[in-house]
Chain A
Amino acid sequence: MVDYIVPCLLFAAAAATLRKKENAYDLMLSGAADGLKLMVRLLPCLILLLTAVGMLRASGAIEILSNWLSPFFSLFGIPPETAMLVLIRPISGSAALAVGADLMAQYGVDSLIGRTAAIMLGSTETTFYTISVYFGAAGIQKTRYTLPAALIADLTGFIVASITAKWLF
């Protein structure tokens, strides 16, 4: 069932555009070119951040810090191995990608940790960035309870990701 979602969505998007008598192929080409431009912007970030995360891993810091934080994370049922990802996810999207890729490489992409990391990445956002963009644009000084509420949403995401990774596979 799930296997057909992405292929069918691809087809539906192309067919619906054709029905509107628009040039689906050219539109897709220009979209794909935009995507490549995005990748070019992301590439230097990934090089710098994977270097930093690789150093952190090689120095033993990730292991030691995960062990320290382990009691706190176990309390919520979140695997301590994903501690770095949980901490960096709300702050930086590209750093979270780097940490997530490192986790998948370290533990295997289809391992429990690799899957948990993927689900976490897919179901959360760069909270601090989002908040600053929206409040900056709307000219809001007092954010009231937005940050705590958004962080509660994030924490829920991390906990539920740990549960679904365990139960759905």
Chain B
Amino acid sequence: MVMSWIFTGILGISIVFACVTGQGSALAAAIPKGAQNGITLAISMAGAISLWSGVGKLMEHAGFTAFLSRLLRPVLHRVFPSTKTDITAAGYLSANICANFLGLGNAATPMGIQAARRLAKGKDYATNELCRLIVLNTASIQLIPATVAAVRVSQGCQTPFDILPAVWITSFCSAGLGLTAAWIMGKVWHNG
């Protein structure tokens, strides 16, 4: 439903602005051109996306997630104290974070939902740890941003992965500040 509003809204805004700027013919020409751009983008992305989800399947079977989870344990205990006692939650949580890190969105979400159910502890409000889990998930810490790389390739980029260090620094900062903000707000926010 949200998308219907966004799509219709964009069309309405375009028409109003085209009337004001007198760009009517450009507006009309943009319609078939945009549709063509859409299919060009999709086709030129398809190769990289498809290959990468093949790699994702391999990483799942090769046990990369399990390996990373072990490395993550000490950090996990600090950010989510209840994982010290709740082994099941710890398992789901680290699987969620590691799958996200490896870009395995399909594997990450079900694990994250299981973790969220454990951290919710049957309450109807979001516990501090649940808030932190979601902030961590929205900050998107990712080793290889494959989708963006595919978009860059489709636009003729020769070095699609040269943004990797920048992406790592950026998502690390946003996760860090998001968690800090959540931690501070968790101290002052009343329950419910």
Contact = CB atoms under 8 A, between A and B. Distances in A.
- Contact count band on B: 35 or more
A139 B174 contact: no
A58 B10 contact: no
A30 B53 CA distance: 9
B75 to A, nearest CB: 17
Give the secondary structure class of B's interface.
helix
A90 B70 CA distance: 31
B79 interface: no
A29 B53 CA distance: 9
19 contacts: A30-B54, A31-B54, A32-B54, A34-B57, A35-B50, A39-B42, A39-B49, A47-B38, A47-B39, A48-B7, A49-B38, A100-B148, A101-B154, A134-B133, A145-B185, A145-B186, A150-B139, A152-B177, A161-B166
Interface of B: 2-3, 6-7, 10-11, 13-18, 20-21, 23, 26-27, 29-31, 33-35, 37-39, 41-42, 45-46, 49-59, 61-64, 106, 109, 112-113, 116-117, 119-120, 123-126, 130-131, 133-135, 137-140, 142-145, 147-148, 151-152, 154-157, 159, 161-167, 169-171, 173-175, 177-179, 181-182, 185-186, 189, 191-192
